[in-house]
Amino acid sequence: MYESVEAYLKALKSALHGADSALVQDALWDAEAHLGSAIAALRVEHPEMTEPEALASGLAAFETPEEVAEAYLEREAVVAQALHPKGVLVAAEPDAPLAPWPGFFEVLKTPKAYTSLLYLVMSLATGIFFFTWAITGLSLSAGLFVLIIGIPFAIAFLGSVRMLALVEGRIVEALLDVRMPRRPSLLPEGKGWMERLKNLLTDGHTWTSLAYMVLHLPLGILFFVLMIIGLSLSLGLMAVPIASLFVGLPSIELWNGLEVQHPVLVVILSAVVGCLLLIGTLHLALALGRFQGFLAKHMLVRK
């Protein structure tokens, strides 16, 4: 029998050793929520029960950590197999192989290339929001710390950072196909305002999430610029054949004003180069999407 909910959660985490960190975070949050609800219900139904008695009764009615861990791993494998029939990116296995890189032209029929492109274009807007939220929250927390409302404001701000990390994780999983938490990470325990603030300040997950929010802006600018340049150039070159129908056939201008008239060749080359550049942009989107997914996995998931 476990002496506390925290002891049960520690045993569950140990039973899930080696599983995907996002899965572990979900399992711990669910277990704490279910145990807390069960113990609270027992205290209401049986007011004569002491807290240790309610805790013992609630834990006795709950499955063992090993059983809970096995159920989560089985369910995760089923979901992963449904999402990835070819057996890649199994979420329950942290070291599962990445999906094979598509061939040069195969990228055109790879849905993840387009969702990655969408994420990278959106990253400028999300980066501005995250950066503004982080810097404003830090500034106000530091400025208000000397006042009585400073401590609860700082706790609320750091809690909001963890919730935004969950939101970003859902976006990453939807668009970049990286297993991210579907539940928030457990807040550090504390009996009072000061103790809870101290635990939040010493919890590494708080600061990695905050660093991710600040880092997201420069990365978002870089991603946005690269994608817009790639799309603009490729689509512009691909549009040359259509434009030539309205403005006339182009020619190639060489040095010293020498002009070579090969209008059909110019149109064909422009379209071909535009198509190749578009395919290259999709490959770049895939590569940057994998990098961003790796970054999110290691900074937004509690270890």
User: Do 199 and 71 reside in the same domain of the chain?
Assistant: no
Q: What is the dihedral of CA 165, 195, 151, 201, to 10 degrees?
A: -40
User: Do 235 and 202 reside in the same domain of the chain?
Assistant: yes
Q: Which residue has the tokens 């940057």?
A: 288
User: Do 68 and 200 reside in the same domain of the chain?
Assistant: no
User: Do 45 and 190 reside in the same domain of the chain?
Assistant: no
User: Do 160 and 77 reside in the same domain of the chain?
Assistant: no
User: Do 65 and 107 reside in the same domain of the chain?
Assistant: no
User: Do 233 and 119 reside in the same domain of the chain?
Assistant: yes
pLDDT at 230: 94
Domain around 222:
103-303
User: Do 126 and 180 reside in the same domain of the chain?
Assistant: yes
The domain tally of the chain equals 2
Q: Which of 100, 119, 149 is the last residue of a domain?
A: 100
**Residues 6+ away with beta carbon under 8 Å from 55:** 4, 5, 39
What is the CB-side half-sphere exposure of residue 260 using CA atoms within 13 A?
7
The two tokens of residue 132 are: 């503004």
User: Do 224 and 84 reside in the same domain of the chain?
Assistant: no
Question: What is the pTM (predicted TM-score) of this model?
Answer: 0.78
User: Do 218 and 118 reside in the same domain of the chain?
Assistant: yes
Q: Which of 100, 121, 140 is the last residue of a domain?
A: 100
What pLDDT tens digit does each residue of the chain (303 aa) get?
Answer: 677 778 888 888 888 888 888 888 888 888 888 887 887 787 778 777 777 777 778 777 778 888 888 888 888 887 777 666 554 444 444 545 566 788 898 999 989 999 999 999 999 999 999 999 999 999 998 888 778 888 788 888 888 998 899 999 999 999 998 888 888 776 666 556 566 667 777 778 888 999 999 999 999 999 999 999 999 999 988 887 777 766 665 555 555 554 445 567 777 888 889 999 999 999 999 999 999 999 999 899 877
Q: Which of 54, 73, 100 is the last residue of a domain?
A: 100
